[in-house]
Amino acid sequence: MTVLAEDWQCRARQLAQGLIAAGKLWSAPWQEALCAVPRHELVPDVLRRDPDGSWHRLDTTTPQGQQDWLEQVYSNKALLTAAADCPGPQSLRSSSSMPGLMTRMLEALDVHDGHRVLEIGTGTGYNTALLTHRLGDANVFSVEIEPDLLELARQRLARLGYHPTLVAGDGAAGLAEHAPFDRIIATCAVPALPWTWVQQTSPGGVILTDLKTARGAGSLVRLTRYPDRAEGRFDSTYAAFMDLRHHPAAHTPQHPRPRRQPNSHPEQRTTTLDPRTPWNCLVVWFLASFTLGPDIAVGYGRPDQNGNPTVTCLTVGDGSWAEVTLTHDQGNHHVREGGPRRVWRIIEDAHALWITLGAPGWGRFGLTVTTDHQRVWLDTPTSTHTWPLALPGPLTPDIPRVGPVTGGSTSPTPLRPGQLA
């Protein structure tokens, strides 16, 4: 398909102006990069999900279809770009994040000329292109778990004149052969920070990633590398990415949802806590996840005669479960709980703690990472309010790391910490 330069360039400028007005883009180099990189060349396919769970591509064979596609590509929206053939919640293989989230993260990296950046998660290559436009081929390195998607990104980037170093492999391992890096940016979520990323970051360098202790439980965190640790604060604004995978999606086993433990006599009571609270206030969900664990399934059930759900349903890995009615009687919601733990009581306790702490937002939390422990803290690293993270296990990648290697390298330069917007 042919897209006129004046068309996409006008759209790119409008996108940049919208992000500037929203406070998500402010420095001249990144403004120039956003206007110069044709996102449509890197995101030629946009997927939508049908009610039956299957995916279809936006039709670009008609003039109207092409305009609809360009409208999507040059809007501040996350785009679904690749899915596995198998149905189910884990079938999504890749997406292109909201441009406003990308620019906010790139601004937070505080890069300077000559900095070497490692990106975890190449995806479509759009973020890689922005980095390469800003820093040059020799200073950008990117790892992608999906070899075929990496090859597509390589070809599309090359057509635009960008030739960063791209490698297919497990992003948790980083790229030791090209370390150290001045910056590491991960466009994926991790339950704990791989220590390899800290090892591969220059002293004073920065690591920016999405920390999620459970689905939806966490946000962006910006860490500075010190001699004995990495440490920093969470961004004040929530963000979410797909989970980091250690195997290509086509080879990732489907993990069954937690199953509730049979209980013929569940505990029944009432609660004044709105069952929507964990999702209306994700910090509460984050605090609860430290007790509930990472294996949490959330859904809605017991539809009424019109097909609308009447209860929120939660199940965790040990079989504990809770159902809370969405409707209430004078502020009291009905609760049914079963299994070895009382799931909704844990969420109530997390909410009470959040209130006691002064209803903190994301910006009051931080993270410290060392070789033998990782912990979230409130306000300062020496706070009495801390929550340990489970350390990641050893890496067991089952696909080779594939080049080819392109670009060169420069010596790392001293860094100064930046601030998340």
Residue 381 has pLDDT above 90, yes or no: yes
Exposed, middle or buried, 292 (CB in 10 Å: 0-12/13-18/19+)?
A: buried
Q: What number is the average pLDDT over the span 33-41? A: 95
Q: What number is the average pLDDT over the span 131-137? A: 98
Q: What number is the average pLDDT over the span 102-127? A: 96
Q: SS3 for 274?
A: coil
User: How much is the pLDDT for 22?
Assistant: 95
Q: Which residues pair with 52 in a beta bridge?
A: none
Please write the tens of the pLDDT for every residue from 387-417: 999 887 654 444 444 444 444 333 332 223 3
Active-site residue (options: 95, 97, 202, 289): 97
Residue 420 has pLDDT above 60, yes or no: no
Q: How far is CA 81 from CA 96, 219, 278, 349, 409, in A?
A: 7, 23, 29, 40, 31
Residue 247 has pLDDT above 50, yes or no: yes
Do residues 38 and 160 touch, judged by C-beta distance below 8 A? yes
Residue 261 has pLDDT above 60, yes or no: yes
End-to-end CA distance of the chain: 37
Q: Among this protein's residues, is 97 annotated catalytic?
A: yes
Do residues 131 and 119 touch, judged by C-beta distance below 8 A? yes
User: How much is the pLDDT for 397?
Assistant: 42
Q: What number is the average pLDDT over the span 90-95? A: 57
Residue 33 has pLDDT above 50, yes or no: yes
Distance CA 43, CA 61 (A): 15
Least confident span in 9-13, 24-28, 59-63, 118-122:
59-63
Please tell me whether the peptide bond between 404 and the residue prior to it is cis, using omega within 30 degrees of 0: yes
Domains, the chain, ranges and CATH? 1-100 (no CATH), 267-356 (3.30.160)
Residue 167 has pLDDT above 90, yes or no: yes
Residue 421 has pLDDT above 50, yes or no: no
Contacts of 346 (CB under 8 A, 6+ apart): 288, 291, 292
User: How much is the pLDDT for 418?
Assistant: 35
- Give the chain's mean pLDDT: 85
User: How much is the pLDDT for 387?
Assistant: 98
CA dihedral 212, 216, 220, 221 (to 10 degrees): -40
Of residues 394 and 128, which shows the higher confidence score? 128
Residue 37 has pLDDT above 50, yes or no: yes
